[in-house]
Chains A and B, each alone.
Chain A
Amino acid sequence: MASRRGRKSRTLNTRKGDKEVYEFEDEQNQKLGSSITDLPRPICVDILLRLTVKRILICKCVCKPWHNLISDPEFAKLHFAQGEAYPLVKSLAPTCVSRTLYLVEPPETNTGFDLGYCDCYGYLKWDCDRHLNMKLDTKLKIPLHNAELVINSEGTDANMNHLRCKSGVKRKRCIKLIPKDHKLNVVNSCNGLLCLSEPLQNDPVVVCNPITGEFINLPVPTQTAKHPSAKKFSDCGLGFSPKTNQYKVIRMFDQQECQLTCEPISGRGIYSSRVAEIHTLGKGSWKRIGSAPHSTYSYKLRAATYLNGTLHWFDINNTDYIISFDFDNDEFKPFPPPPHERSNVCYSEKPNMSIGALRGQLCVCDSSYFEYIELWVMEKYGVQGSWTKQFSISTMTDHSRWLRGLYEPMSYLRNGAILFFHRMSNAVYYYDPKKWKLIFLKLSGIKSRFEAIAHIPSFISLKDIVMGDNLAVLNIKSRCGEFKLLGETKALFLKEENADTDSDFNISSAGD
């Protein structure tokens, strides 16, 4: 390759003398030499694996060799193997189109979100570059609930599609959609895939990989909750069975009549109408697997967390508040919670507790104490004795206030810091245990409330992991990915702020 380029450069400069050409070459060394993109494949992989997801997506467009390299399943596997979980943030505002997800990666120049010591601490001067103010530009898209509507509307009034501005530049018209048509809930993340549900009954409808833009529509369930006294929602989640190497989606719903069944967690015989169905991606339809865990209260299962072939939920309804579903054997199992110092976790405290996975270990974040949050980590999976209280983090602000509310554990970064999502204040908390430092990173730019889930970004194609005869893998890029929908132009920022100066903290906490 190098010689070919060299020759070409000389032919370009044939009018110059040989000596001059060499001088010219030396000067233009950078432009005429071998290109970095021609390096052997393993080295290119080494280089690309050091970049953020956003930059890898950009590199994919630089040249064909890199495009092929990044599309290669081998690269995707290597990338996923060294991947870290990051918060995936989604706006909850009804006016915003909810198909955009923002991946919160640390800034490229830094390993964490802490830009170092600053003497203006506590005052946060605007011109100080020691405080993070980062545009969240790793935007990922999930499909629209009713994409046909957008495609059809685009087709029918094609003439209206482009409005001519005064300058003569074509501008795309924004398409208006009502929430029913665009909204899909994000249920959980498993191996780089997301399970999405329709917002009305929370029935799972789509599995997608937001990085590649691929998605699969799930089969329509034959049975839905119709009984008047039945709960109006389903619980669901996506999981992976390492034994059979298959991805499965579970849904739990109330069927028409109550039956005397064996409750799968406690093993007692009860009257219950709640049943569970399972669907293996790429294989037929939904399959009944028996009754689902029953509860007297009607709260949704929260914080679906996939780990080790098992999906875990936080169940407010039960005293042992973690329930799990094993995808290898298709069965529900009770799961031992951490040994809290309080003898019994009382009901009112549970809303302030959450489960998650940090570096492949299940953890419980307990923020029901007044002035600190406790992080329990299960060091050996499934062994109750291995629950250890790893951190006890003071949530006191500089002005001696405490920020209460639910802290959701998101990621354990490579530099040893932990990210939490605090829904009440719309903020990401960055905690560095080495420096005992808590940084409050507010989501700003879009006035809305947000939700976040921990997600390990993956370049693995759905086509490579889901086997099926007549499986249609669709891509959002070819299905209204380009259409501009109302409210999609605004940018979201992550800004270091003083937790006390947070203006809408009180408003949002009042509405909680």
Chain B
Amino acid sequence: MSSSLEKNMLILRSSDGEEFIVPEVVAVMSKAIKNMVEDECASNTIPVPNVDANILAMVIEFCKKHDESEAEAASDLKTFDSEFVNRGQEALYDLITAANFRDVKELLDALCQNVAEMIKGKSVHHIRIQFLGYQLFEILTSNFIWNIWCDRDFD
């Protein structure tokens, strides 16, 4: 790629209307945006529907770090990744959805790994509390038989 293109900036607009100015090299880490840029169907401002400003800021932060740190040590990047993905479930869910929708492979990979780490070493009961939260009550009452079947197998 030519250096002039690298300096190009793109404007991303989140679902709630906030605008972010990001370098093109960072924005094209999302395959979906990359396709739009390559097909030249994008004007200066690219709308990012389904992703609100909060989440979009996080995604951009992640992409920037990964772009800058191409020369950086892999171990540093790993620490950044593990700290970055260490969030509450709501944020994780939104981030995963955004990463999936915008097709940001590195982010999706880091997030999925984080969720897997959350599951490791936990029992059925603990995973339910962690992921299903208050839904647990619902499950316990409406699917009573289902639960008996499960507990029999693994407790």
Contacts and interface: CB of A to CB of B under 8 A. Distances in A.
Contact of A55 (B92, B93, B120): B120
Interface in B70-100: 88-94, 96-97, 100
Nearest to A8: B134
Contacts of B121: 108-109
11 contacts: A2-B93, A30-B133, A32-B90, A33-B89, A36-B89, A36-B115, A50-B113, A57-B154, A61-B150, A61-B151, A63-B132
A36 B92 contact: yes
Contact of B116 (A33, A51, A477): A51
Given A43-B112, A61-B151, 6 more contacts: A29-B88, A37-B132, A38-B93, A58-B122, A61-B150, A62-B124
Interface of B: 88-94, 96-97, 100, 108, 112-113, 115-116, 119-124, 127-128, 130-135, 139, 143, 146, 150-154
B112 A35 contact: no
Could you tell me the dominant secondary structure of chain B's interface residues? helix
A235 to B, nearest CB: 36
A40 B112 CA distance: 12
Interface residues of A, number: 35
- With a 10 A CB-CB cut-off, give which of B115, B119, B154 has the most chain A CB atoms: B119
Contact of A43 (B108, B152, B153): B108
A489 to B, nearest CB: 15
A482 interface: yes
Given A50-B113, A61-B153, A62-B127, A33 B97 contact: no
Interface of A: 2, 5, 9, 29-40, 42-43, 46-48, 50-52, 55, 57-59, 61-64, 108-109, 477, 482
A119 B114 CA distance: 31
A36 B122 CA distance: 15
B107 to A, nearest CB: 12
A144 to B, nearest CB: 18
Contact of A51 (B88, B93, B120, B130): B120
Contacts of A64: 143, 146
Contacts of A482: 152
- With a 10 A CB-CB cut-off, give which of B97, B112, B121 has the most chain A CB atoms: B112
B119 to A, nearest CB: 6
Contacts of B133: 30-32, 35
Given A32-B134, A36-B115, A40-B100, A63 B90 contact: no
Given A47-B115, A63-B128, A39 B96 contact: yes
Given A29-B89, A33-B93, A35-B93, A58 B115 contact: no
Contacts of A34: 89-90, 93-94
Contacts of B112: 43, 46-47, 50
B115 A37 contact: no
Contacts of A40: 97, 100
Given A30-B90, A35-B89, A55 B119 contact: yes
Nearest to B151: A61
